[in-house]
Amino acid sequence: MADFDPIEYGKLIHAVEQMEVEMAEIKKDIKELVELANKSRGGFWVMMGFAGMVSSVFTWVIRDWIAK
């Protein structure tokens, strides 16, 4: 027990408590990022479908009306 320094032990406890607070914040931020990614995933597929429809109409117009 001669090597035990209560001041260093207190600093270590404080550092661990700070890391726990930071980890809680990081977990919260990651959850928010996952929610945002899930929301944008649906929007991405809607835009992909819209782009497919627009390109189909554009191809039909070019092929049937302009190319004749």
Per residue in 3-27, pLDDT (tens digit) is 888 899 999 999 999 999 999 999 9
**pTM metric for this prediction:** 0.53
* pLDDT for residue 68: 62
Q: What is the C-alpha to C-alpha distance for residues 62 and 28, in angstroms, rounded to an integer?
A: 51
Tens of pLDDT along 24-59?
A: 999 999 999 998 888 877 788 888 999 999 999 998
* pLDDT for residue 20: 97
